[in-house]
C-alpha cells in the first residue's frame, strides 16, 4: 500500500538528545540507543470507521518519537500496518450492506488525508494484512512444524506455553489476561484449546467470508497478532527499537506478537521497548468505534478547524495519560495557536536558543509534550510583553515547533 506524503522536517541548530521513554515490559524508563537507523513499528488502524481523536493522539505520540530521533541526525525506519481484514471490519460491512474491500479502502484513504493534514510523518512501509498473507502463511506453518501451534476444528492456534517469556510485555496475572483476552478479540471460552489464552493464527474459511490460499493450512485468513509480526519481521527484523500502540494493545496484541516472534526466531526480545499511549475518552468513556462515542479528525477539518490546532490539542496532554476530549481542549489549542502565530509573525524577538534546548529536553524526557508547549508559551509571552531584538528568533521558533512538534506556524 502507499502511505501519505511527508512534510519537510527542518534541521535545527545544536545537538538533539537521546530519548528516554517508558517501556511497558520493564515498567520503567529506558534510554534508547538506536544505531544510525532507528527502527519502529506502530500498529495501524482497522479501517472500518474514520480516524478519531484517540487514534490521532496515539499516532501523535509515535510521530514525536521519530522527530526526536531525526533531531539526533538518525534515520528512522518506520513500519505501520493496516488491518484490512478482520472481524470488526467484516461485521461493519455486513451491517451497512457495503463491500468490505471498498469500506477498508475508503477509510484508509481518509486516514491518509487526516495523517497528512496533521503532519504525521509517513511510514516507509505501509502494509495491509491482505497483502501480507503470503508472508504470514509460512510463519504459521513453521510454528506448527516446531510444535508451537496446533489445530482445532480446522483453525490453527498458537500455544502460549511455547514461549518461556510469555507474559513479559504486559506483566498481568492470569485472571486479568483472561478477562482482556475475552474483551479484545480472543476466545478464552472456546472448548478444546490447550490454554484459554491461546490466540488464533489462522482461521479456516467460513461460509460467506473472504478466504485465501493458506498452503498446508488450508483456505482461511490470518489471525490479528501474526499479521503484525509478519510485517515487522519482514521489514524490521528482530530487536527493533520501539513497538508502539495505544495501551489497549499491550495485552493481548503486543504480548502475543512478541511471543510469536520470539518462538519463531529463538531471539529475545522482539522490541527493545514496548511503548503505549493512554486512551482518549469522550463523555467519560474511552472513544471507540464499537461504542460510537467519537470525534473524527475529518469532521473537525470539515468544520474549518485548523489541523495545527488539532495537533496542539493532542500535544497538550502527556501521551501516557488517559484524558478526556472536550470543546474546551480544542478552544484552548485554537487560542494557543493564535498566540504563537502572532509571536512569530514579528521581524524580531527574544533569543530562541534556550527555547530549542527546552523543547529538546522536554521531549527526550518520556515525550513530555505539555512541558514543551509551556516552554514555547513562555517565549511567546516574553515576545508579547517585551519583544526582543534577535532577528533570527522568530524563524528559529517556527522551525523548532515544526521539526520537533509537527506544528506549522
What is the closest distance, in whole angstroms, from the C-beta atom of residue 47 to ligand 5CA in the complex? 7
* Region of 211 on the Ramachandran plot (φ > 0 left; ψ -120 to 50 alpha; else beta): beta
Q: Taking the CA atoms of the chain, what radius of gyration do you get in angstroms?
A: 22
Site for ligand 5CA in 77-106 (CB under 6 A): 81, 83
Q: Does 394 bind ligand 5CA (CB under 6 A)?
A: no
Q: Does 228 bind Zn ion (CB under 5 A)?
A: yes
Q: Cα separation of 23 and 275, whole Å?
A: 5
CB atoms within 10 A of CB 373: 21
3-state helix, strand, coil in the chain (%, to 5): 45, 15, 40
Site for ligand 5CA in 214-253 (CB under 6 A): 228, 245-246, 248-249
Closest-CA residue to 406 (of 82, 61, 52, 2):
61
Instruction: Tell me whether the omega of the peptide bond preceding residue 206 falls within 30 degrees of 0, making it cis.
Output: no
User: Which three cell numbers, joined as nine digits, stand for 11?
Assistant: 534541521
Complex with Zn ion: residue 185 or 307, whichever CB lies closer: 185
Q: Cα separation of 167 and 252, whole Å?
A: 9
Q: Cα separation of 202 and 214, whole Å?
A: 8
Q: Cα separation of 328 and 112, whole Å?
A: 27
CA triple 104-57-176, angle to 5 deg: 85
Stretch that binds ligand 5CA, among 95-103, 156-164, 272-280, 346-354 (CB under 6 A): 272-280
What is the closest distance, in whole angstroms, from the C-beta atom of residue 22 to Zn ion in the complex? 19
* Contacted entry of Zn ion, ligand 5CA, none for residue 280, CB cut-off 5 to 8 Å set by kind: ligand 5CA
Q: Does 360 bind ligand 5CA (CB under 6 A)?
A: no
**Residues touching ligand 5CA, count (CB under 6 A):** 21
Q: Does 43 bind Zn ion (CB under 5 A)?
A: yes
What is the closest distance, in whole angstroms, from the C-beta atom of residue 12 to ligand 5CA in the complex? 29
The length of the chain, given as a count of residues: 409
Stretch that binds ligand 5CA, among 9-17, 52-60, 99-107, 306-314 (CB under 6 A): 52-60
Q: Does 402 bind ligand 5CA (CB under 6 A)?
A: no
* Contacted entry of Zn ion, ligand 5CA, none for residue 349, CB cut-off 5 to 8 Å set by kind: none
In the sheet where 323-324 sits, what is the strand order?
285-286, 280-282, 323-324
What is the closest distance, in whole angstroms, from the C-beta atom of residue 184 to ligand 5CA in the complex? 9
User: Which three cell numbers, joined as nine digits, stand for 258?
Assistant: 512478541
Binder of ligand 5CA out of 7, 124, 265, 288 (CB under 6 A)? 288
Binder of ligand 5CA out of 16, 54, 223, 269 (CB under 6 A)? 54
What is the closest distance, in whole angstroms, from the C-beta atom of residue 228 to ligand 5CA in the complex? 5
What is the closest distance, in whole angstroms, from the C-beta atom of residue 180 to ligand 5CA in the complex? 13
Q: Cα separation of 5 and 22, whole Å?
A: 29
Q: Cα separation of 97 and 91, whole Å?
A: 10
Binder of ligand 5CA out of 43, 143, 236, 273 (CB under 6 A)? 43
Residues contributing to the site for ligand 5CA (CB under 6 A)? 43-46, 54-55, 57-58, 81, 83, 228, 245-246, 248-249, 277, 279-280, 286-288
Amino acid at each position: 500500500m502507499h502511505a501519505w506524503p511527508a512534510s519537510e522536517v527542518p534541521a535545527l541548530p545544536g545537538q538533539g538528545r537521546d530519548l528516554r521513554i517508558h517501556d511497558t515490559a520493564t515498567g520503567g524508563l529506558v534510554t534508547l540507543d538506536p544505531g544510525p537507523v532507528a527502527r519502529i513499528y506502530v500498529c495501524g488502524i482497522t479501517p472500518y470507521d474514520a480516524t478519531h481523536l484517540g487514534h490521532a493522539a496515539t499516532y501523535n505520540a509515535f510521530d514525536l518519537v521519530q522527530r526526536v530521533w531525526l533531531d539526533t541526525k538518525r534515520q528512522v525506519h518506520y513500519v505501520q500496518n493496516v488491518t484490512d481484514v478482520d472481524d470488526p471490519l467484516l461485521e461493519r460491512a455486513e451491517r451497512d450492506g457495503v463491500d468490505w474491500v471498498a469500506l477498508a479502502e475508503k477509510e484508509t484513504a481518509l486516514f491518509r488525508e487526516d495523517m497528512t493534514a496533521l503532519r504525521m510523518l509517513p511510514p516507509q512501509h505501509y502494509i495491509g494484512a491482505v497483502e501480507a498473507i503470503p508472508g504470514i502463511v509460512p510463519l504459521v506453518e513453521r510454528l506448527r512444524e516446531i510444535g508451537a501451534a496446533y489445530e482445532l476444528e480446522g483453525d490453527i492456534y498458537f500455544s502460549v506455553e511455547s514461549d518461556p517469556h510469555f507474559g513479559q510485555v504486559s506483566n498481568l496475572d492470569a485472571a486479568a489476561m483472561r478477562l482482556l483476552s475475552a474483551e479484545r478479540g480472543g476466545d478464552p471460552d472456546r472448548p478444546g484449546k490447550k490454554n484459554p489464552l491461546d490466540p488464533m493464527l489462522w482461521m479456516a474459511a467460513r461460509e460467506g467470508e473472504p478466504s485465501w490460499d493458506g498452503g498446508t493450512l488450508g483456505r482461511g485468513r490470518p489471525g490479528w497478532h501474526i499479521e503484525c509480526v509478519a510485517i515487522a519481521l519482514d521489514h524490521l527484523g528482530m530487536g527493533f527499537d520501539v513497538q508502539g500502540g495505544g495501551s489497549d494493545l499491550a495485552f493481548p496484541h503486543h504480548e502475543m506478537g512478541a511471543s510469536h516472534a520470539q518462538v519463531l526466531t529463538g531471539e529475545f526480545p522482539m522490541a527493545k521497548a514496548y511503548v503505549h499511549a493512554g486512551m482518549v475518552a469522550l463523555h467519560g468513556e474511552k472513544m471507540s468505534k464499537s461504542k460510537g462515542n467519537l470525534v473524527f479528525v475529518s469532521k473537525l477539518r470539515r468544520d474549518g478547524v485548523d489541523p495545527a490546532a488539532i495537533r496542539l490539542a493532542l500535544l497538550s496532554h502527556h501521551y501516557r495519560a488517559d484524558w478526556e476530549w472536550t470543546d474546551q481542549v480544542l478552544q484552548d489549542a485554537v487560542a494557543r495557536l493564535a498566540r504563537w502565530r502572532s509571536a512569530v509573525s514579528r521581524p524580531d524577538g527574544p533569543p530562541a536558543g534556550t527555547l530549542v534546548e527546552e523543547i529538546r529536553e522536554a521531549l527526550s524526557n518520556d515525550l513530555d509534550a505539555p512541558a514543551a508547549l509551556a516552554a514555547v508559551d513562555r517565549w511567546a509571552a516574553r515576545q508579547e510583553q517585551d519583544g526582543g531584538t534577535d532577528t533570527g528568533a522568530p524563524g528559529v521558533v517556527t522551525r523548532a515547533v515544526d521539526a520537533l512538534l509537527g506544528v506549522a506556524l
